[in-house]
Structure 1
Amino acid sequence: MRPGRTALLAIALCGFAAVPAQAATIDVVMQNLVVKPVEVTAKVGDTIRWDNKDFVAHTATATDKSFDVMLPPGKTGSTVVTKVGTFDYFCKFHPNMKGKVTVTP
């Protein structure tokens, strides 16, 4: 086989062997009326999971209304991010609890 064809064949085979990236789960903890970490970065298709470690209910409510997750005391809740952008969120019951999710392609 000629060198040019070998390189072309190698490139073609690499394309078929590529495995799509798996979606990740990004954890955020709500404890002592604080969100940690305050800012997270995710990719489209990833899951953001909030873990409420407080004895009171919280929410993760996007200011643009793109998600609204209810978090009973001691429970978790999640959302799958589906679009690129920066999404600020807060707790409806404790508006001083704020966070930000940045979603990349």
Structure 2
Amino acid sequence: MTAGALAVAPALLTIAPPRTHTIFVEKMKFGPAPTGVRVGDTVTWVNRDIFRHSATARNHAFDVDLPPGGTGTTVMQTLGTFDYFCRFHAAMTAQILVTT
């Protein structure tokens, strides 16, 4: 193996495939935020309530509609802390941290 190939090999080992994280919505609350969300990961919200909800980022990065009993997803595209809320129930708020 050449020196160039050795220099590239460790970088390949640190690339993790995208993951899916699930947040359950029930009793008019967002469930706990998942840990370890990275750019490229998918976040899925599952609405267990009988009411329509949304997961709407305050910075407009995502806006997921969640009909009763439905699910919605978004792929996290950028780093940062994302505050989000339900468009239909202003008291429902949460936050997701996205890292590298």
TM-score (norm 1): 0.82
1:86 and 1:16 mapped to 2: Cα distance? 26
Taking the aligned partners of 1:43 and 1:73, their CA distance within structure 2 comes to: 28
Distance 1:13 1:103, change over 3 A: closer
- 5+ residue gaps, structure 2: none
The residue aligned with 1:98 is 93
Corresponding position of 1:71? 66
Question: Residue 19 of structure 2 corresponds to which residue in structure 1?
Answer: 24
TM score, norm. by length of structure 2: 0.86
Whichever of the two has the greater Rg, that structure is: 1
User: Residues 36-66 of structure 1, C-alpha deviation per residue, up to 9 Å, x if partnerless?
Assistant: 11x3341000011000001110000001111
Question: Structure 1: where are the runs of 5+ without partners?
Answer: 1-5
Q: CA RMSD in A?
A: 2.4
Q: Which residue of 2 aligns with 1:33?
A: 28
Change (3 A) 1:40 1:13: closer
In structure 2, the partner of 1:59 is: 54
How many residues are aligned here? Answer: 99
SS of corresponding position for 1:69: strand
Structure 1 residue identity aligned to 2:90? P
Task: Please tell me the residue identity of whatever aligns with 1:51.
Answer: V
